[in-house]
Chains A and B, each alone.
Chain A
């Protein structure tokens, strides 16, 4: 059997998906990045590859904010942004999908599709109130495990109203309600509704939401949030089976498309490169100009694999560069 590997390295979670040649999911790993994407790539790779030989991998796709880093370590055939990856994955399950609501750890997106093609999208910009990190924080403040958040919220009969304009306001409003003695399930449901309103105002910004609506990303595990979306939008919301690894799945599907279309051999680096090598990163301040860019250097043992972070790209392009005379 041959497989395609899809990897999504996000700021909060790192996801790995293996699909076979017919794009069926045969393995998936969802883990926390814990601020160390290099380690997450190695660990996740080891876990997802258990029982599979590296020669069986015939294509690799990476996505997420750590996609370039994952590319350096794994050797990826396709390096894609999250929007495209999520859209591709969703439309593989629901070809007629019109709206994708994706809420992850640090960002949230809305993708509008027409005939399986992205026609508009938006990402949250300045405020993290509509994301998983915010829910995490508030759950721990209320001493609730994040896994219990959804089921507890569902018990609510009357959600409390919480101002959701901004994370800071929502938090102070929530503390106020808590001290007034409202039951915890009503507060949790209130938080869900506040988050949905915030999402629709700040990310949706008046975009026309049409059915079928798909809700994916790590936060889709929260049944309270799904219910809040259904209540406020007055629409049926579907959560796909692999909702938590859709980005990685999209990357795997894109890798498959690419390899099949161009009939290329993969540039995947294999076990010996990934597992045996010690990857480390180092950052330094470039003294080339007053901008003093902080350049990151990724090394495998002694060999420099990549530089990035410099504005003028002198470092980034220094591997194989020609001077203009």
Chain B
């Protein structure tokens, strides 16, 4: 069995590690590129959102490289994502690919269901080995996220931003190819040290919270590398959601770590009191949370036509006014309007900076 899976930010580092520990041959799809977009756009319904198109592009590229099994996540609720695995299966069947698709669903009651699913997936592995595979993948993703957070702190402050980016990219690669826990820890620390040694400008950057639909938040190819663009504009970006949060809430039944979703739901009230699908509720909750943590602004991102984010966007106007935090919404699709995005980001940060200087004087 040669297994593949869809890309989402740095998630592939953990998924790859887990599948290998389940003694499977893994063929990760090549990094998302224009070709991935082209394939996805060609074969997906036009009105479907961008994550479906990228997923499908990933699968086609991986199947062409010899993969014969696809691992995909399921879902539930009003967001279309829960239906995507089924749609993708139909499209790929119509295209004449021969493969098996395995859909991981969130466990209903017991997390042991997940380990049983994984055990069934692996080749001759025990439940214990399945458990260890998850634990190892979890460890890897934690190291990756430590690095992501450190990079988000250093990048806007660093004098040489190119070098910071290079160190970070190289660090991720090294973590990916490290194949045991000690090696992962060693390369992770080495990369952190290198980042910490960079000369800083000494200026306090603006702080912006990035909220919205998870795929667009986490996948730089789906958001015109918005976090990096902001870093280059001397803005520290805080992600409202990390891959570990999603895995924890959706696949691990909330057992791997304490979920802060409850806090976000509390924050969202009274602006939005219902689960509206996807991450709509979290978007509103996180924006309130950032306002109370005195962030300078919030940027909401989502794929064009994303229903939950449209609901959240219509609520954000009120949140922005009541909580006093400037918000900007950006939607993305396969059109690479990088220049337009750059202009909006520059204008938004200019606005926040001038505002900050002014309020700084008044108090």
Contact = CB atoms under 8 A, between A and B. Distances in A.
Interface string A150-188: 000000000000000000000000000000000000000
Contact of B358 (A80, A117, A322): A117
A262 B162 CA distance: 26
Contact of B343 (A82, A206, A290, A313): A82
A318 to B, nearest CB: 10
Looking at chain B's contact residues, the main secondary structure is helix
B31 A290 contact: yes
Interface residues on B, range: 20 to 34
Output the residue of B166, B167, B347, B354 with the most chain A CB within 10 A.
B347
Looking at chain A's contact residues, the main secondary structure is loop
B123 interface: no
B34 interface: yes
B31 A119 contact: no
Contact of B351 (A80, A121, A291, A323): A121
Nearest to A63: B343
A117 B30 contact: no
Interface in A268-325: 289-293, 311, 313, 317, 321-324
Contacts of B30: 290
Contact of B166 (A83, A117, A291, A324): A324
A284 to B, nearest CB: 15
B96 interface: no
Contacts of B340: 123, 125
B162 A81 contact: no
Contacts, number: 71
Given A289-B31, A289-B33, A290-B33, A117 B343 contact: no
A259 interface: no
B186 interface: no
Given A120-B326, A290-B30, A83 B355 contact: no
Nearest to A121: B347
A115 B317 CA distance: 21
Given A290-B30, A290-B33, A290-B35, A118 B170 contact: no
A111 to B, nearest CB: 9
Nearest to A65: B339
A324 B167 contact: yes
A104 B339 CA distance: 16
A65 B343 contact: yes
Nearest to B37: A291
A175 B74 CA distance: 49
Interface string A120-141: 1101011000000000000000
A8 B166 CA distance: 34
Interface of A: 65, 80-84, 115, 117-121, 123, 125-126, 206, 289-293, 311, 313, 317, 321-324
15 contacts: A82-B347, A83-B350, A84-B350, A115-B358, A117-B351, A118-B347, A118-B354, A119-B351, A119-B355, A121-B351, A125-B331, A290-B30, A290-B35, A292-B35, A321-B162
